Every structure is written in C-alpha cells, then in structure tokens.
Structure 1
C-alpha cells in the first residue's frame, strides 16, 4: 500500500509540473488538425450508408470493416484484424400482430438470442413490471405476457432477462416488453448476457401499441396476439480492428470503442460517433513520434451482443495494458470520468483546467459503471477513463431504435472529442509514469462501494466468487 501511495503522489507531482508547459505547440497542432482535417465524419457516412446496421458476425459488419480498412489506407494507416469466436445471433423476419378484437401489425424488434418458434397465437395478460409477485393473480400459462419497461419506485430494477425467465417459469409462450418512451420507438437489446437461447420469444414493442393492449385488458376485452420468431442463435466469428502507434515501451494505452451496432438502424450515434472519433485520434496521433507508451486504438466488435470483442481482447492482452480509455457514444466533451481510479484525477483535471476554451463544465468525476467495453479491463484492475459528453436530444432519443441514423451525427462534436482526447492521450503516452493497477480485492471493494456487484450478479457477470 505504501508503494502504491508513493506512485500516486509521484503521478500527481509529475503531471502538475508537466502541465506548467500546457498549451504547447503540439496541443495547438492537435486541435488544428481535428478541425481542419476531420475525415472521420465522411468515413462514418460511408459505413452508415453503404453497410447499414452492423451487428457482429454479419455480412454488413464485415463490409463496414472493409470500408474502414479502405479509408485507412488513404490516410496511410495500417490496420490489422484480430479474430475471435463468440455466441452469435442472426435476425430474420420476426413479427408481432394483434388479430382480435381487430387486426394491427405491431412495430416490434426481437431481442437478441431469440430462437425460431412456431406460430404462436394466444391471449395476452398484463404482468405489470414482470416481478414474481406481479403474477399472483394472473394465469400466464399458454398466454403471451406483456410487461412495462417503466421502473417502479423504491424497488430493485428487474432486468429483461430476469423477466423473461420468470415469464417462462409461469408457462408463458412469449413476452412483450412495452417501451417506456413515446413516439413509436422500440428498444433493441439482448435477452441475456451469456449468449444463451432465450427460453421463450421476447420482443420490444412501442409504448403506443402497449397502451392499446393495456386498455383492452382493463376493459376485460379479450386480446389475441400472434407472434412468430424466425431469428436464430449460431456460433459466430468476428474481428476487432486494431491500429498501433509504437512507443519505446511495449506497454499499451488502449483507446477503444465498439464498432458493431444493432442491425435495425445505421448505428450512427451508437457507436458510429465513437468509430469516427477513434479514426480521427488515429490519424492525429500517428503524426507524432517518440511516445513512451505504445498507443493501441481498437474498434471492438460484439459489444451489443455481450461485450465479446473487448472481453476476448482483455483476456489476451491484459498483461500488456497500462491504461484503458473507452469511447462509447462520446458526444461533445464536458469532462472525464476516472471510473474510481482517483489517482487519474490530477491528470484529467490538468487537461480540463488548461482547455478553458472548451465547455468542460462537468470537470472530473470518478464513478465506475459497467456494460461497456472498459468493463473487463476494470475487472483486471486496469485504470480506465471514459469521457463525459453532451448529446443533442435527437442523438439519444433513438437509442437502440430504428431512428439511429447518420443525419443525427454532429460533425463538430467529432472534432471536439477527437481534439480533446488526442491531447489527453498524447500527454499520457509521452509520460513514463507507471499507472498502478488495483488488486483483486480492491476491485471487489470498488464495485461494491458503487453498488455494481448486485447488477453484475443479476447479469451473471460477477467474476469474483
């Protein structure tokens, strides 16, 4: 512990002294390049409009990778692929349709890891939030269950996979999740985090269609719904895309974000913006030499289906990684999150204080979170940073919905993110300071202190027992 405290104090003293020289010519060069040479935006446009949604393991995902490689060659960036196996899933033409008391095709999206089903036709029952106690006065056997995605007050969150398992145990034939956002939106996602087939077909339907069913049930009018799942699970292969800027040390600062998206949209914001910012960081920093740390920029695949790309990368390279920075829907930067690795606060605060011309109003916080590509690095005790950012309402409104399209992307935000993050990475990679890892017990304490252990256990992602 004494050695770790000395290391932390050394980091703080080093960067306090280092940033006396802040706003050096290199900073101005980096920022100028971000604004006058932004190609990430047009690369993202090609990916979105020529490949479309890019779920991992699919032909569109492969096409998007080839577009990225083609564009990188124009900028003399040599990318490599690191393949991995994972439990994949293929979406086909699935359907949910009201057939009585009138006919209506519902706007819906099947949840990941549905398997093919027979044509299911059954009455619907409303099980409120989907908890066990919500079934006390309901006979769900051979029925189609509908549940709301609204969160009850003063009650622990029920994850969708838990609601699916409960409905299956009650004998339901399928389950429909009513989105809590109005405007004809659905909420794509997986039915579980392990890549296992869902026990019954599960779908997200719109708020408006859900209200139709709820009103009919309230008036005791029988509602018959027809459901058909044609999607299926299958073992798959995908690739992480990697660009490396060599340093004097083989120890790496990994800067990553997920490349894949849900297939129902173009994935322009989630995480197309991250793809573009990573591309610009690669172009920008590849112009510099004499880094102490190697910088490895990684477009992870398989995040939406369960963090498979970053999980595989972290397992393979964990002993090489000094620090991890994750860009998941970065937006317009407003600060940094040091994820509970508080010794990083002095470094990131120095960036905030010396970039007064930017709206870094949120400063630095240190609040770990999960379910994105930094998670498995954090589990290894590897120091991690994520940017805080502002997004226009139109950007996050269509989260995991059909409307996540390229027209929502703000080019200026890409330039802002790329410039600010490139400066941070530049300074980190130029330093020769060792960034101390947390030990296993310290990671456990960090997760428990921030209440993350409960969610991880519910997701079956707790790796510390």
Structure 2
C-alpha cells in the first residue's frame, strides 16, 4: 500500500483513534427493536443516512420497497406428557398464527439425513442450531423447511450456546411459513430431548401476524462517476428481541468507517454504498436492489455481514478466484491475515448478485466457535463489541474495495460462470435450498 497519498494515510491514522464508529453503533443499538417494517427500522435508516453524509458519501437517498412485515404475538410451548410443564420459547419470524400438538421427535442437528431417519410425520421436531463438524453449516431455513416437508407439524430450534438464550431467525424469505416454529434455550432443549426419548408430547401455540409493510435501503456514492461500479453494502436491520449489535450493527459501522476512508481516495471505479434494509426477513432489500440495478454495470459486490465482531477477518469469495486474490493480497500487504472461504452460500445480501453471476466477497469475522454465538438472541448487545475490531475492519474493507476497483478497472474480475450451480451442489446445498424454496429455477 505504498501508493497511498499522504492525505489518505492521515485519514487512516485518524481512523485508528476515531470515536465516531462507537458513537454510531451506540446510537443504532439504542433504538432497540430494528425489525424490518417497523418504526425502529425507519429510525435506523435515517441514522445510517446521516452517518453516510457525515462520512462524505455523496447523493445519499432513500429507496423504499415493499416487504412482508411480521409482528410477534404471544408464544407458548407446553409439555403435555409424560409431565405438564411450560417452557420459555421465542417464535421464529414468519411463523404463522397456529396451535399444533404432537409427539416430540429429536432429530439431532436437523440435517436432512437425520430427519429422513426419524419418523417426523405429525411431530414437533426438535433440532439444534449447530451442525456436525467437518461439513458446511446447515442453515435454520433448510432444517425447518425440510422437516415440515417431511410431515412435521411444528419445529423447535434449540440453541447450542448455553445461557438461557432462545434463538430467533426467519423461516422463509419474505413470506409466511407453512407451520409454526420457536427457538428455545440449550437448557430447555436438554429437557425436551430427554422427554422426546421418553415419548413426550407437547403443544406449541404461536401468535403472530404477517402484513404488507415497507422498508428502505439507503444509497449514496463515493469515488468517480463511472459507467461500471462496485457495490459496498451491509444490512442495518435486526431482530426485535435484542439490540443487534453484532448482527449487524458492527457490519454497518464497518461500512460507514470504510466509506469515510474511500471518500478520501482516488478510486479507479465509482462505489455505490448501500445500507440494506430487511436482510433478516429474507434479503428483501438486496433483492430489490439487484432488481433495480443494471447488473452488467456492477463489477463486484462487497457485502459486510459479520465483520467487526471479532479479531480476524474472513472473506467468503463465492467461487471467485479474482476477489479471493484481492482479499489475500490486501491481507498480506497489511500483515492483517484474511482467511478465504471459497464456498458459496445463499444466506446474506450478496446472494441476489452471486445468483446473477456478479463476483462477490462477504466479509465477516471469526470467533473460533461454530455458529452465531450471541447473534439472534437476547444477548446480542453493545457490550459484546470491541470497537477496535470495527475500526480495523473498516480500514481493511476500504483497502479491499480500493484494490477491487483497480482490478475491475483493468478488466480482471471475471463473472461467475455456469459452474456456480455445480459448486452449490458440491457443497451439498441443493436439498436444503429446494426445501426452503430458494434453489434457482434455471439450475434444474
């Protein structure tokens, strides 16, 4: 990075001690409920717009879109046999209002093979939030939808992280699910698996409402006005049960920090900077963005979902050797290692672009533990954040975007090819994605 100008180097030096990322994260998490479509979501988008403007992002504007707003009601999970007990449970977004009863069936991790091996017809399936070591992480939506497709009448998602923390997370992409589902703590899950082994039965009742709603993206630009552009984005919405500091307050704070640095740079391509709405309820904001943009003009996407949480940066390259090479080069030159994960996945805001062949990086950070940790629970609060990680990852993100711009300007970032579907099949995604209704039609 010897070619950075003195002014840009000074901007990096200021970032090292800048208190604005922490102030932004504080204001964002103080909102509380940022569930898409609600008043907190709108307040958050205004806060992001103000932060973009303060960072030097030009032409900041709101881009509203329609989405399915889900509102939580009362939820109960009652054991009816062999004992009578009530357990704390949290409804999972897009669960329909319904009451179902049946035997408890423990399917372990909830992988398709485990569900196939169990008799789940008419049952309340009990599955863990984690997955077996040695394979890819199997998403909640895959487990739920596969279980319901196999005949289950309800789904109980058991946190593998102790601490009386029932997890949440959407069941479908922007639409009501076919059956109710709840999250329960690891401690409750221990009881339920025990009761399942003893022929236990339970009744699950979810009160909820899915109605037409509206969220909005926040867009602006840094760098020159060029025909082709890069996209730098992060979602700012969060689940209503916590502050959403880690998921994804850190991520949008990283983007604001990176944008402030990019605004000082001489970039080879323009960069569209976007705070994305409604990611947690189905990637609705990024789907709207991908539909609206001319994707032939988008050279690459950098989606910051999970960066800034922990010490080490991870870059998911989604089969793109060119974007992986850029992230590796920046990591090596700055002596801040960036771990590359080449396998694609469809569960964050890069997906609508990757699906269309746009090269991408998703930037997250690694805790060393498998799964979300505090994310999607009551414990996702500001006190878990070390804002040194936010500032460092903001600097690394800016350098990665700068390098991507230079590489793309030279025409050296190829589009994703017809082998993308094969990569998803090789990673064993096809069964789960088809169950969740997100396997692309053209990949048959």
User: TM-score normalized by structure 2?
Assistant: 0.85
**Pairing 1:199-214 to 2, within 5 Å after superposition:** 199-214=178-193
5+ residue gaps, structure 2: none
* Residues 1:43 and 1:208: Cα distance change in structure 2 (over 3 Å): same
Q: Residue 342 in 1 paired to residue 321 in 2?
A: yes
Q: Distance in 1 between matches of 2:399 and 2:42?
A: 31
Q: How many residues align?
A: 428
Q: Counterparts of 2:417 and 2:424 in 1: how far apart (Å)?
A: 11
Does 1:69 pair with 2:49? yes
Give 1:376-391 correspondences, 5 Å limit.
376-387=352-363, 389-391=365-367
Q: Secondary structure at the match of 1:229?
A: strand
| Alignment check: 8 A CA contact 1:380 1:440 kept | no
Q: In terms of mean alpha carbon deviation, does 279-288 or 257-266 score higher?
A: 279-288
Which of 215, 221, 230 is 1:244 aligned to? 221
Give, in whole Å, the separation in 2 of the partners of 1:402 and 1:86.
25
Deviation, 1:57, is 0.9
1:28-47 superposed Cα distances (whole Å, 9 cap, x missing partner):
33421321334122111111
Pick the aligned partner of 1:53 from 28, 33, 55.
33
Whole-angstrom distance in 2 between the partners of 1:258 and 1:72: 14
Q: Report whether the alignment pairs 1:286 with 2:286.
A: no
Relative distance call for 1:424 and 1:149 in structure 2 (3 A) is: closer
Q: CA deviation at 1:355?
A: 0.8
Residues 311-322 of structure 1 mapped to structure 2, 5 A cutoff: 311-317=287-293, 318-322=295-299
CA shift at 1:161, angstroms?
1.6
Counterpart in 1 of 2:96?
115
Q: Distance in 2 between matches of 1:370 and 1:364?
A: 17
What's the secondary structure of 2:433's corresponding residue? helix
C-alpha RMSD over aligned residues: 3.1
- 2:24 maps to what in 1? 43
Contact kept? 1:258, 1:274, Cα under 8 Å: yes
Superimposed CA distance per residue, residues 407-461 of structure 1 (whole angstroms, 9 cap, x where no aligned partner):
1111100110011111222333356312444365243344344444444333322
The alpha-carbon deviation at position 303 of structure 1 amounts to: 1.3
Tell me, what secondary structure is at the counterpart of 2:150? helix
Query: What's the counterpart of residue 33 of structure 1?
Result: 14
How far apart, in 2, do the equivalents of 1:305 and 1:314 lie?
16
Given the alignment, which residue of 364, 370, 377 partners 1:401?
377
After the TM superposition, which of the residue ranges 455-464 and 297-306 deviates more from structure 2? Answer: 455-464
Matching residue of 2:77: 96
Contact 1:22 1:354 in 2 (8 A): no
The structure that has the greater radius of gyration is 1
Quote the Cα distance in structure 2 between the aligned partners of 1:154 and 1:427. 33
1:178 aligned residue (140, 152, 158): 158
CA-CA distance at 1:335 after TM superposition: 5.4
1:161 and 2:145 aligned: yes
Name the stretch that deviates more: 386-395 or 200-209: 386-395
> Do the aligned residues in 2 keep the contact of 1:54 with 1:60 (CA within 8 Å)?
yes
